[in-house]
Amino acid sequence: MKALLMAAGLGSRINEQIDGIPKCTVDIGNQTLIENTITELKRNGIEEIAMVVGYQANVIIKQLRDEPIRFYHNPFYDRTNSIVSLWFARDFLQGSDCLLLNADVYFESKVLEVVLQETTCPVMFADPVRRYEGDYKFGYENGLLLRHGKGLSLEETTGEYVGIAKLQESFLPIFLRRLQRLIQEKQYDLWWENVLYSFLGEKNVYVAQIPPGLFWAEVDTWEDYRRILEFTNHLAHR
């Protein structure tokens, strides 16, 4: 198992409130978010880790200078979306099962354990508890993704997308061919997740749920960041 972290974006919704630093480098108590993520990956036996950087890449690289991480760079981070970042790291996506994660996602230890135990492929992860306040929403039935988007109604929504996908080695060549096709079509404004969404209607894309009670949050807004700080502060005083 290897892990690829997407960390090239500007984070425009919260950028000014965190003094312009990359979202994954926010302080969450006694360490930064990305340091916590790397620690959790390594604790679960994932040693082969890569990151795609772009915005303030030097800040992230300096923060992780003591970690054996392979860095890829998206020089067009300010004019493209994360599908282009994924394309720059395409040679990493071969040889073994791979986790794809948005680097601004905080998750407690048990969330990663749930992710690693999942056996379906390709599989994305959702939180059914956050149907109401979710940012990017999934509609799924019997473990299969049917709908996705920020604009889904409550009736169409089954859970909030967590920002993590898991791909088995056997699926990676199919995934890479589709990625290449979308890049050749100049679909530069898509997210990396759109490679998976593009299979809907022709191939099953699975959704596994994070069990209720487990904590995660993606740093998109100040409210998200505040929730993470409250949780990590609670952990520190348990």
CATH fold of 2-236, please? Spore Coat Polysaccharide Biosynthesis Protein SpsA; Chain A (3.90.550)
In whole angstroms, give the CA distance from residue 83 to residue 189: 7
Residue type at 51 in one-letter notation: M
Q: What is the pTM of this model?
A: 0.94
Dihedral, CA of residue 2, residue 75, residue 161 and residue 218, to nearest 10: 90
Q: List pLDDT tens digits, range 163-200.
A: 999 999 999 999 999 999 999 999 999 999 999 999 99
Distances (CA, A) of 214 to 1, 5, 110, 126: 23, 21, 7, 12
- Helices (H) and strands (E) counted in the chain, each on its own, are 7, 11
Domain spans in the chain, listed from the N-terminal domain onward? 2-236
- Alpha carbon distance 181, 175 (integer Å): 10
Q: What is the pLDDT of residues 28-77, one digit of tens each?
A: 988 999 999 999 999 999 999 999 999 999 999 999 999 999 999 999 99
